[in-house]
Structure 1
């Protein structure tokens, strides 16, 4: 029997399992760069405005480190500076989750052993996962190129942008495949690949930050660390700039090497095990582990630390460029754009209102992710074993809820501290910056509680739809709540998002009544979830 026997069957199975998840990823990742390009084209409609913006980006080390410099002063080049790196990070995450889901997770849940008992080749599962990832990246590259060209940008630059996204995706599919061979669990594999992603981002950021500004003051030649990062290679295609295709070869060769390494590692290990030795736990559990909240907190600890580290970076970057908001958004159109996002008042206050509002919704993703652990533990985890003891169902559910809320408070506090410290350092007003931005970020807790309450209600009443409805609500809040005004959506539709009822701090004064109303609504939804969970049967393998 060939090592690739039944690869086609497993590929079709993987595509069927991802028939909803993968199209959503592709649609979102196609729409993101196209929407950024459309916004940039409308904001900077004269060559002088575009050149000035590119020069400001090239001159600011923090901006270069976070988004990368523009490869020129055209609308397309500014769009690349604004969104290419961020989109590449999301593409990398898509590939990491996709490959780990169809390799290490299958082994962890016993599916690989069951499938392997049939006429299936040794490398069929890994090959199927990589084929699905390759198909997703090729489609993403094509769709992105068409969408960008559809906004009026040059076709050549659009094709290069799509190639950069697809090439970075293939590189991280290979990294995820290697991580799946090294570790013995899906979370460990995703975590290891995410660490590599963070490292490559930092290398690219260092290369751009320490790069050399070009003669025109609008472009930057990166330093050598950027050339050690797949994210940097994707950036070096320089779409809408001088345009070069050869860095794509680096991404493809890297993907080939990592894929070959993953195949070689898979031959030298047993199914269900990893090449790296599993870390041994303590001989005795801490007293806190004997209580539901202590156990849940221990299960969520790694995810929480990852969110805190990531949000600290975003907060520091957004705070670090706060003193250059007037330069970056100096034109009348761009200033109106910022005020549409963050309300009236000074441009700096509107900027921070818009950015903290956006990041506040993103932080809600942690709350949703933490509460979805309830469903995962019910299907494949310790819920049944825990409830077989003296722990009641409400106690178990509320332990997850408390851990999610406390974790959200910590992430929001880290966001406020990192943003305030960075802005205080550049504005020379540390106490004022910390006070305003901590209050601004912590106020985001109230609408986040509404999303958390909805997730609990769906878990208790409609458990099989928990993930779909919770993430759908999160997406609605992110898109409609944050960009509804820019899209000129009707107020009745915008008001669906609880975040639209929050004052635009620090541009507007804080009012308590909306916070109390949202907290009461969250409590009512959580109560419905507790009552529903008490009355329904436990589900397994759903």
Structure 2
């Protein structure tokens, strides 16, 4: 077998579970979204009303897509495509950095280049790995839509649009890995570029030209500088245009060509932007495991808090418009009640609870990343160095978990702050405005469960920490947020912690579910800390 084939098989084996989780999750999400839309907006009149609301409310277009009519297939593409493309972007940038800059950072790339593989076979294997992964991703999205009964041709176009955007961000990730000396920096800038593309597309959609009937829109120029906007321009189901996909594929080709040019002129392990030299001595406050954990994760925590603040601010901008629609559309109100498992609450409280569930997922993701950082420190060997000092494993792991709990609370606090400010600024004087703080508090128990669960996996099965952490969160989101909307058995839906999140109501709030989840999280955390001294550091 050729060297390229051997390296490709190595990448496939290394990513088999992680990549499978990404692709299946995105494909299943396409099908779940279609099922939820079919149940919630079963008639064209309801979809037309939502489209008119969306075209009149720019904030909705930022989060959704480009309206192309009230038909079920076009409405589904409007609702979910931009989010599928966003996930495809993250999948590909992380994959590109993992097999390039991370390999150089750990020294493995230099060992491989010293063999018959040389410098170019690893890059070729990574590009081939990404190409095949995006072809499979395209098929998964297309099958997800076709499984729901949508037109096969349009579904294939939607799948190709998702895969092409993923391919573009594979190139972006490869190029980012050439600029930065650490995988953390390369991942950070790559993820930021994915989010920038998402919001550029959203801004272009929000400022586009609306048709007289309010059913369709033409995107403004910012959408045309975003790979996600390029994929959206295929007009799957309504136009089925293939030529816009030449843009993301071309971007991937250009980025790869630039990477080849740069690699021919630099040493293995070097980068275009030199890393900043560290201090000879640590600062006075960096003297304990908690301070070290904070230093390692401060950028991640700030990013999630900023996301929570933005989610809270969006609450106010959508408030009045959504309330007017909810009051006249019983199916939309019913869908919200099923999504958050709430009955008897006011429309404003339903809206706040629904939006805060998004922030709750973000807070849970922040908790998952805190545990993932522990595993990364152990896998890199730095944890063993730290533990060679007079520091117990319980205190070491407890510091990361404690910081994770604080960061989860901070994400929800910033969300509540943003919601409170935006609702007050929008002129909402209802009592529900003051409930945003309690609603933020209600999301904490479920998020803390997703801090304790990966920590338990880290102690029992260290190698599974990263894939299991994200997989558990993904399953919880699908079951808890979409399960009730598509009619899954309640026993299955109840497996998700998000199902048991208390919903704040002016008539009385049932906090029992929150207390149960707090107890489960505390028990898991205690068992984890009790078990960590019983295994070896670096245990595979």
Question: Is the CA contact 1:387–1:393 (under 8 Å) kept in the aligned structure 2?
Answer: yes
The Cα RMSD (Å) is: 2.3
| 1:373 partnered with 2:373 | yes
Q: How does 1:131-530 map to 2 (within 5 A)?
A: 131-329=128-326, 330-342=328-340, 343-344=342-343, 345-429=345-429, 432=431, 434-506=433-505, 509-530=508-529
| Structure 1 position 327, deviation (Å) | 4.8
Distance 1:34 1:447, change over 3 A: closer
Alpha-carbon distance between aligned partners in 2 of 1:155 and 1:454, rounded to the nearest angstrom: 40
Alpha-carbon distance between aligned partners in 2 of 1:255 and 1:269, rounded to the nearest angstrom: 21
| Structure 1 position 533, deviation (Å) | 1.2
Alpha-carbon distance between aligned partners in 2 of 1:29 and 1:528, rounded to the nearest angstrom: 33
| Structure 1 position 539, deviation (Å) | 1.7
Question: Is the CA contact 1:460–1:531 (under 8 Å) kept in the aligned structure 2?
Answer: no
Cα deviation, 1:71-120, whole Å, max 9, x if unaligned, reads 22211221122111111111100001111111111111222112122100
| Structure 1 position 152, deviation (Å) | 2.2
| 1:36 partnered with 2:33 | yes
Which stretch of the first structure deviates more once superposed, 203-212 or 183-192? Answer: 203-212
Distance 1:161 1:313, change over 3 A: farther
Alpha-carbon distance between aligned partners in 1 of 2:515 and 2:354, rounded to the nearest angstrom: 22
| Structure 1 position 157, deviation (Å) | 2.2
Secondary structure of the structure 1 residue equivalent to 2:285: helix
Which stretch of the first structure deviates more once superposed, 238-247 or 500-509? Answer: 500-509
| Structure 1 position 280, deviation (Å) | 2.3
Distance 1:100 1:362, change over 3 A: same
| Structure 1 position 433, deviation (Å) | 5.4
Question: Is the CA contact 1:457–1:527 (under 8 Å) kept in the aligned structure 2?
Answer: no
In the superposition, the TM-score normalised over structure 1's length comes to 0.93
Cα deviation, 1:312-360, whole Å, max 9, x if unaligned, reads 3333334421222245554333322111113122233223223323431
Cα deviation, 1:11-48, whole Å, max 9, x if unaligned, reads 11101111111121111111212221232233333333
Cα deviation, 1:128-182, whole Å, max 9, x if unaligned, reads 1111111111122223223213322223322221121011111100000101111
| Structure 1 position 292, deviation (Å) | 1.0
Alpha-carbon distance between aligned partners in 2 of 1:223 and 1:8, rounded to the nearest angstrom: 44
Secondary structure of the structure 2 residue equivalent to 1:18: helix
Segments of 5+ residues of structure 2 without an aligned counterpart are: none
| Structure 1 position 508, deviation (Å) | 6.6
Question: Is the CA contact 1:108–1:184 (under 8 Å) kept in the aligned structure 2?
Answer: yes
Specify the alignment match of 1:122 in structure 2: 119
| Structure 1 position 295, deviation (Å) | 0.8
Specify the alignment match of 2:94 in structure 1: 97
| 1:61 partnered with 2:58 | yes
| 1:111 partnered with 2:108 | yes
Distance 1:143 1:507, change over 3 A: farther
Cα deviation, 1:270-313, whole Å, max 9, x if unaligned, reads 11121111122334422121111111100011111221223333
Question: Is the CA contact 2:502–2:514 (under 8 Å) kept in the aligned structure 1?
Answer: no
Question: Is the CA contact 2:89–2:169 (under 8 Å) kept in the aligned structure 1?
Answer: yes
Secondary structure of the structure 1 residue equivalent to 2:426: helix
Segments of 5+ residues of structure 1 without an aligned counterpart are: none
Question: Is the CA contact 1:339–1:350 (under 8 Å) kept in the aligned structure 2?
Answer: yes
| Structure 1 position 506, deviation (Å) | 4.3
Question: Is the CA contact 1:57–1:218 (under 8 Å) kept in the aligned structure 2?
Answer: no
Which stretch of the first structure deviates more once superposed, 487-496 or 9-18? Answer: 487-496
Number of matched pairs: 537
Aligned pair partner of 2:49 in 42, 47, 52: 52
Distance 1:86 1:37, change over 3 A: same
| Structure 1 position 523, deviation (Å) | 2.3
Alpha-carbon distance between aligned partners in 2 of 1:321 and 1:413, rounded to the nearest angstrom: 20
Alpha-carbon distance between aligned partners in 2 of 1:385 and 1:185, rounded to the nearest angstrom: 20
Question: Is the CA contact 2:339–2:481 (under 8 Å) kept in the aligned structure 1?
Answer: yes
Secondary structure of the structure 2 residue equivalent to 1:290: coil
Distance 1:43 1:536, change over 3 A: closer
Secondary structure of the structure 2 residue equivalent to 1:421: helix
Alpha-carbon distance between aligned partners in 2 of 1:267 and 1:328, rounded to the nearest angstrom: 58
| Structure 1 position 386, deviation (Å) | 1.1
Alpha-carbon distance between aligned partners in 1 of 2:504 and 2:172, rounded to the nearest angstrom: 41
